[in-house]
Structure 1
Amino acid sequence: MGHCLTKNQQDKDESDHHVDFAGANVTVITTKESWDQKLSEASRDGKIVVVNFSATWCGPCRMMAPFYRELSEKYPSLMFLVVDVDELIDFSTSWDIKATPTFFFLKDGQQVDKLVGANKPELQKKVIAASDLVPHVQN
């Protein structure tokens, strides 16, 4: 179970660490305004939000990114967001992020569950449980 606690200061060259955290049904949050907009949209649509607080330099985060994207495709009834803790430092601090990755599950903007660390089976279990809470509407 991997956790990244602090950034390695020797890790100045980010080019070899590029991982695409977005894609599929995952939206990257880059501003507080986009966060507010997505949470408002989720509340309006009755969706549970899964938020991945991660960092590009974090090995466990990079390992979880493709799996997170897969889950976003399998469970379109949920809204999947990712926040880079280095890009939104104050915002991440307000969520009391102590390790990356940290996953929050939100309903109407309120935390209903949380997972700290790169634990694929546990994340999948929590995503399935969250998906079961969402009323499925037939088109």
Structure 2
Amino acid sequence: MGNCLHRENNTDDGDSDHHVDFASGNVQLITTKESWDQHLKQASRDSKIVIANFSATWCGPCKMIAPYYCDLSEKHSSIMFLLVDVDELADFSTSLDIKATPTFFFFKDGKEFDKLVGANKPELEKKIAAITDGVPQFQP
């Protein structure tokens, strides 16, 4: 499926598509390593699974899957959805050995338990379904 290789030097190519809304719905934009740590701790306290989308504004497949990811965040409130721009947090992204965007990491209790590379909607939905099948859903 679609994915972009990590671009080392981020040059602004004047692309007007930079305005795609990558973080809407219940997606939390992570802009610092401290914010990342804080969200993972909160998810652990709340016993929530975390899905982190590592993407880039210049990446076509990232732009394509962003609205879908945001929709998923609204459908699955038992999961914490995070978004990390690999160019904004380059050192952190490199430390996680991200070689292509988008890359989705799945965390439980602060530890990675799964990963998906590429804008593969069916596989992302399948992984979320496997998670939510094991998580009691809110019943009024």
TM-score tier, shorter chain, comes to over 0.9
Match in the other structure for 1:27: 28
Match of 2:2 in 1: 2
TM-score by length of 2: 0.92
In the aligned structure 1, how far is the partner of 2:136 from the partner of 2:44? 13
- Number of residues paired by the alignment? 139
- Is the 2:10–2:87 contact (alpha carbons within 8 Å) kept by the matching residues of 1? no
Contact 2:6 2:98 in 1 (8 A): no
Verify: 1:96 aligned to 2:97, yes or no: yes
Q: Secondary structure at the match of 1:50?
A: strand
TM-score normalised by structure 1 residue count: 0.92
Match for residue 120 of structure 1?
121
CA 32–10 in structure 1, closer or farther in 2 if over 3 Å, else same:
closer
2:77 corresponds in structure 1 to 76
How far is 1:73 from its partner?
Answer: 0.6
Once residues 102 and 115 of structure 1 are traced to their aligned partners in structure 2, the CA distance between those partners, rounded to angstroms, is 6
Would you say the 8 A contact 1:43–1:109 is kept in 2?
yes
Identity of aligned residues (%): 70
Amino acid at match of 1:77: S
Aligned residues of 1:47 and 1:134 also touching (Cα < 8 A): no
Q: CA deviation at 1:41?
A: 0.5
Distance 1:22 1:16 in 2: 15
1:43-54 equivalent positions in 2, closer than 5 A: 43-54=44-55
- The separation in 2 between residues aligned to 1:137 and 1:5, in whole angstroms, is 39
| Long gaps (5+) in structure 2 | none
**Cα distance in 1, alignment partners of residues 48 and 6 from structure 2:** 32
Q: Residue 111 of structure 1 aligns with which residue?
A: 112
